[in-house]
Structure 1
Amino acid sequence: MQMAKESRQQGWWHAFGDIPYSVYIGLETDAASLRVYEGSLVPGLLQTPSYASAVTEGSWPEATAAEVERRVQVRMRRQERITDPENPLRLWAVIDESALRRIVGSNAIMREQMEHLMEFSLRPHITVQVLPYSVGAHPGMYGKFSILEFHDPQDASTVYLEGITSDLYLEKPNDVQAYSVMYEHLRMQALNAEDSRRFMLRVAEDWARAEQGQDQVS
């Protein structure tokens, strides 16, 4: 009920019309830190405009060009939280290798996205870890999730589970603790930050070679 009340307040996202995950955007805007696990996509806060557009077009095939553009604009506006010079969001992202290997849009878009990831991973308040295929089975195989924490200690940490038609927000301490423990296991199984950058560099080089080969064929 509290989140529903807050979602009716006029945040910047209301200027974009009906946004299906407006409650989450409100929480993300107020959060001090965010831990996210993604199994098949680059996290929204780290996407390039071209990648975000290709993801939106693929995920919502019935959306009009105007709807795709609106969703991409919202995603880019959300990213201001991690580039805020005074109060940047502390972001920790564990990304499965499949998100880096799945072609979204084109080889050029993927190369650009890998370079963007590496650049942002160098920022002191952003940590990116890659979970390679070689890890095998892991706790994140059941799906992506995010854990939001806030400056005010009275604001409960929240686990966000995104759905197709509705989203789920978990605030019970036992639920948050279970996902926090799961996240720690994912962090330990993933490559460390430096090795992850080396891994992303190799993937970027793979996409660059594929891009070059595609240009030669065309």
Structure 2
Amino acid sequence: MNQHRSPTIRRRRLGVELRRHREDAGITIDVVADRLGCSPSKVSRIETGHTSATPGDVQHILDIYGVDDSITAELVQIAREARQKGWWHPYSTVLTGAYVGLETAARSIGAYEQQVVPGLLQSEEYAIALIRGARLGDTEQEIEQRVRVRMQRQALLIQDDPIDLRVVLDEAVLSRPVGGDAVMLDQLGKLIEAARLPNVALQILPFAAGAHAGMDGSFVILEFEEEGDADVVFIDNATGGLFLEKSEELGKYIPLFDAIRSSALPPEESIEMIELLIEEPLWKSKRRVSGSI
């Protein structure tokens, strides 16, 4: 299976196609559920990509819709692919939602972050410190698993066919010494290293920019290669995050991200700023009004 066609994206694509064929056939979800001997909510979850369907169920559903054999065979194959285990499956106990599977399938990612370095750019020590600070109820084993997932995700940037990553970091991200001085300085160095990859564009949004288009919060835009796979906006939170998939929602976030990028420093100037911060970290400024000096 192509590295950009993760089980998550295949399940999502299958759901879209099943819903389209149901609507074309003029059949309700209740009728499908009755014929399959399951609940309407299960059919709905299959169509939204939240539940996988067996190849047999897909065959049965498409027979109900009167879909021709060639299309049925293609969708049954997608159902088989959707039931394969992604590399992240062993860590499913510490993962909520479908983000990692969608990220694995993405062709390009655009991210604006106000508070922390995004997972794809985190050093291992930064990730450990961040997770310990943010997830107070996690055991050491859970923290270790979360860090392993985060480190493995970073292969997307250096694999044979890497994703394109565009990131804007608020200056605040560089000003908070997560893990202490040594960890944060190492993290700044990792940002510079990543920013020099040909498939990564890293920009810093400085405090001097004042009010800007991204003040409502952080978000990620996941863009997919295949025409039938709609792009997704992801907004992270403590319960697993929110996925926005409607075209009108995407229509707001794409120009929003463009506006944020236009307010940020260009990539080369952003690297220079990080280099200066390594020499003179903001969190060590004597002009601070709170915390220890």
Return the TM-score normalized by structure 1: 0.91
Between the aligned partners of 1:90 and 1:205, the Cα distance in structure 2 is 29
Between the aligned partners of 2:245 and 2:128, the Cα distance in structure 1 is 32
Contact 1:147 1:157 in 2 (8 A): yes
Structure 1, 19-28 or 1-10: larger mean CA deviation: 1-10
Between the aligned partners of 1:173 and 1:5, the Cα distance in structure 2 is 22
How many residues were matched structurally? 209
Between the aligned partners of 1:134 and 1:122, the Cα distance in structure 2 is 24
Partner of 2:168: 94
Matched, 1:67 2:138: no
Letter of the 2:257 counterpart: Y
Map residues 17-36 of structure 1 onto 2, 5 A cutoff.
17-36=92-111
1:48 maps to which of 83, 104, 123: 123
Map residues 92-131 of structure 1 onto 2, 5 A cutoff.
92-131=166-205
Between the aligned partners of 2:94 and 2:142, the Cα distance in structure 1 is 10
- 1:152-194 per-residue CA deviation (whole Å, 9 max, x = no partner) reads 0110011011121142111111100100011001000000001
Matched, 1:145 2:219: yes
Structure 1, 104-113 or 9-18: larger mean CA deviation: 9-18
Between the aligned partners of 1:170 and 1:8, the Cα distance in structure 2 is 24
Contact 2:110 2:165 in 1 (8 A): yes
Contact 2:168 2:261 in 1 (8 A): yes
- 1:1-57 per-residue CA deviation (whole Å, 9 max, x = no partner) reads 443236864111111231333511000000000000100101110000000000000
1:79 maps to which of 154, 158, 179: 154
Query: Which protein is richer in strand relative to its size?
Result: 1
Letter of the 1:196 counterpart: S
Q: Secondary structure at the match of 1:115?
A: helix
Between the aligned partners of 1:33 and 1:204, the Cα distance in structure 2 is 29
Structure 1 runs of 4+ with >6 Å offset:
none
Contact 2:126 2:179 in 1 (8 A): yes
Letter of the 2:116 counterpart: L
Between the aligned partners of 1:166 and 1:56, the Cα distance in structure 2 is 14
Structure with more contact order per residue of length (Cα contacts < 8 Å, sep ≥ 6): 1
Return the TM-score normalized by structure 2: 0.68
Q: Secondary structure at the match of 2:98?
A: helix
Map residues 185-196 of structure 1 onto 2, 5 A cutoff.
185-196=259-270
Between the aligned partners of 1:49 and 1:153, the Cα distance in structure 2 is 35
Larger Rg: 2
- 1:182-212 per-residue CA deviation (whole Å, 9 max, x = no partner) reads 10010000000010000010111124996xx
Q: Secondary structure at the match of 2:93?
A: coil
Q: Secondary structure at the match of 1:68?
A: helix
Contact 1:111 1:205 in 2 (8 A): no
Structure 1, 4-13 or 101-110: larger mean CA deviation: 4-13
1:135, distance to aligned residue in structure 2 (A): 0.6
Partner of 1:169: 243
1:131, distance to aligned residue in structure 2 (A): 0.3
Gaps of 5+ in 2: 1-44, 53-81, 285-293
Between the aligned partners of 1:177 and 1:157, the Cα distance in structure 2 is 11
Contact 2:94 2:145 in 1 (8 A): no
Give % identity: 38
Between the aligned partners of 1:164 and 1:50, the Cα distance in structure 2 is 21
Between the aligned partners of 2:283 and 2:218, the Cα distance in structure 1 is 30
Contact 2:112 2:167 in 1 (8 A): yes
How much is the aligned-residue C-alpha RMSD, in angstroms? 1.8
Between the aligned partners of 1:41 and 1:162, the Cα distance in structure 2 is 12
